[in-house]
Amino acid sequence: MLVKNLTHKDYTTHGGFYQLKLPLNVECMIPNDDSVRLLGQIVEEMNLSKLYKTYSRLRKKQATPTQMLKIMLYAYMNSNYSTRKIERACKRDINYMYLLEGSPAPDYTTIARFRSIHFAPVSENLLAQFTQMLAENKEISMKNLFIDGTKLEAASNKYTFVWKGSVTKNQKKLMDKLPTFLKQTEENFGFKILYGEEIKMHHLKKLRRKLCKIKNDEDIQFVSGIGKRKSPLQKTFEQLDEYISRLKKYNKHLHLMGDRNSYSKTDPDATFMRMKEDAMKNGQLKPGYNIQFGVDAEYIVWISAGPQPTDTTTLIPFLDSIKSRLKYTYRNIVADSGYESEENYVYLDENGQLAFIKPSNYEISKTRKYKTDISRKENMSYDKENDFYICSSGKKLVATGIKFSKSKTGYRSEKTCYTCEDCTQCPIKSKCIKGNSKKPLEERTKHLEVSKLFQQKREAAITRILSDEGKELRMNRSIQSEGAFGEIKQDMGFRRFLCKGKKNILAECILLGLAHNVNKLHNKIQSERCSTYLHPLKTA
């Protein structure tokens, strides 16, 4: 049977064969308990004045910033992160049409610009508003904050790395060549460049100007191509240009890197880290960001992003950002062993907060190997009044001095040094003194460095986490903070950023956090679990 070719551009000109039949009001097709209605109500209650200020002007017959925020959040709620797919959904999905309220569907470039240009500058303000809204409705406890971090891969190629060690090594090689090169150039062309102990960029540029003057004065023509011989001046000039170019490149790399050990050429804010997703099983480093979540009553109340490969140095900046944005302070800070440090303990005490942080040696301290290791100070007797340790051989380790150390963040800690009075005839010396040293074992003496302040804070933290309250909070940390990452990575399928730059990836994280919170609130309403903050501790 022949099929008639359908070539009409206007698909509604030939009657009901092409006419799409829908009710005039799509709202009647959406269930009353759909999460899209809850999202619309939440966004309407927000103060979006700062979002509107990011626009120079608003055009008529296009989606408003409020509607754009709604469709972005709804897309993230349904694991739709591609701007092209969001554009397609706005044309086909009645829930998106309901949020657009009759406005035309925005194209993918408009959606991408909204995410990076308009939403990113006000993302933290909107998250703070949502968290405050939850607090006013008593959906969060405002008492217990569960903190955890994860690493997410950046939108950058894994082979675009720049390593600080390699850059500094090559820079040093270049700087070692420069004195000989300058001296040889001065002898060949009969002038003098004054420089001190270190040759800097302006010295090389001054040398280049002098070579240019010689070229112009003597009317020397530079040549190129096969069969043409370069003059000594041209060879020196080209060598100098190469050195200047390399030195500029190394300086640029070090400037972009800052305190980090690496960065990506296509996303300079990303740092190379080890990820949990290791397909090749070889520990390959990938460009990524360390994302921190603060969770309360299963809601993500705050988010931060940084280049730190470990969680230890992220706690204080994270809590400072919460303090600057939220109107209340959390009393109990619950985190895993990756956040333990003397600096963090001191910070929490100074701010009147309780640290429920599991010590880094908590799990290993339960093992038989740890308990029978005589080299550890935990397995030695300590006389608090006279301030000395007694080892397994009954010999004293007395205090011999104080050592100060400074961390990368600038924190200054004090450690007391203890040294054994006599280790010469000790029969168990090989089990007590460990580590590599150029000295033979017979000449070595047992030495300990102990931070008394850190030991005091750790003991107080252990007492707290072993209490009934501490056990309940530690169990909830595993469920709530790690559960939030599990939902975003596994359920929502977000494992790699789409944007580049710290500001844009933080905006992506906040979109995810807001979408997660709306879904969580909707689920709690449907399951009648509102205003429940902690999961009860299970007992046998």
Please name the residues in contact with 126: beta carbons below 8 A apart, sequence gap of 6 or more.
46, 48, 51, 69, 119, 510, 514
Q: List, in order, residues 6 or more apart from 75 with CB less than 8 Å away.
A: 81, 85, 86, 89
To the nearest 10°, the Cα dihedral for 258, 264, 266, 267? -60
pLDDT per residue over 21-58, tens digit each?
A: 555 677 788 888 999 999 999 999 999 999 999 999 88
Q: Is residue 54 helix, strand or coil?
A: coil
| d(C-alpha 408, C-alpha 90), whole Å | 49
> In this predicted structure, what is the pLDDT of residue 1?
45
pLDDT tens digits for range 93-144:
999 999 999 899 999 999 999 999 999 999 999 999 999 999 999 999 999 9
> Is the pLDDT score of 320 beyond 50?
yes
The predicted structure's pLDDT at residue 278: 74
Could you give phi then psi for residue 397, rounded to 5 degrees? Answer: -110, 105
Is the pLDDT score of 309 beyond 80? yes
- CA dist 270 and 263 (Å) reads 6
Supply the pLDDT for residue 196.
77
Q: Tens digits of per-residue pLDDT, 51-85?
A: 999 999 888 889 999 999 999 999 999 999 999 99
DSSP state of 490: I
Per the CB < 8 A criterion, the answer to whether 293 and 149 are in contact is: yes
What is the Cα–Cα distance from 363 to 369, expressed in whole angstroms? 12
The answer to whether 285 and 151 are in contact (CB under 8 A) is no
The CA-CA-CA angle for residues 485, 491, 497, to 5°, reads 65
* Averaged pLDDT for residues 281-310: 92
The residue-averaged pLDDT of 407-422 equals 90
Q: What is the pLDDT of residue 539?
A: 67
Q: Which helix (H) or strand (E) holds 206?
A: helix 201-218
Q: What is the pLDDT, as a whole number, of residue 430?
A: 86
> What pLDDT does 467 receive?
94
Residue 500 three-state SS: coil
- Distance, CA of 522 to CA of 38 (rounded, Å): 7
Cα separation of 312 and 314, whole Å? 6
Average pLDDT, the chain: 90
Q: Which residue has the higher pLDDT, 275 or 317?
A: 317
Q: How confident is the model at residue 10 (pLDDT cuts 50, 70, 90)?
A: low
Provide, rounded to the nearest whole percent, the portion of the chain with pLDDT above 70: 95
Grade residue 3 by pLDDT with cuts at 50, 70 and 90. Answer: low
What value does the mean pLDDT take over residues 424-446?
Answer: 84
**Cα–Cα distance between 98 and 36 in angstroms, integer?**
9
Average pLDDT over residues 192-218: 88
| Domains (range + CATH), the chain | 29-119 (no CATH), 144-154+274-362+461-527 (3.30.420), 162-264 (no CATH), 373-451 (no CATH)
| Residue 292 three-state SS | strand
For helices 201-218 and 164-189, angle between their N-to-C axes, nearest 10 degrees = 40
Quickly list DSSP for 77-134: HTT---HHHHHHHHHH-HHHHHHHTTPPPPPHHHHHHIIIIIIGGGHHHHHHHHHHHH
Residue 193's pLDDT is 82
Considering only CA atoms, which of 327, 166, 192 is closest in space to residue 262? 166
User: Does 247 score more than 70 pLDDT?
Assistant: yes
Would you place residue 495 in the very low, low, confident or very high pLDDT band (cuts 50, 70, 90)? very high
Q: Rounded to two decimals, what is the model's pTM? A: 0.89
- Say whether 481 sits in a helix, a strand or coil: helix
Q: Which helix (H) or strand (E) holds 496?
A: none
Predicted confidence (pLDDT) per residue in 336-395, tens digit: 999 999 999 999 999 999 999 999 999 999 999 999 999 899 999 999 888 999 998 888
Task: Return the sign of the alpha-carbon dihedral for residues 88, 92, 94, 97.
Answer: positive
Lowest pLDDT segment from 189-193, 236-240, 488-492: 189-193
Q: Which helix (H) or strand (E) holds 406?
A: strand 396-406
pLDDT classification of 225: cutoffs 50, 70, 90: confident
CA distances from 512 to 34, 217, 229, 380, 384 (A): 19, 66, 64, 50, 51
pLDDT at residue 2 tops 70: no
* Residue 4 pLDDT grade (very low, low, confident, very high; cuts 50, 70, 90): low
Q: What is the chain's length? A: 540
Other Cβ atoms within 10 Å of 244 Cβ, number: 15
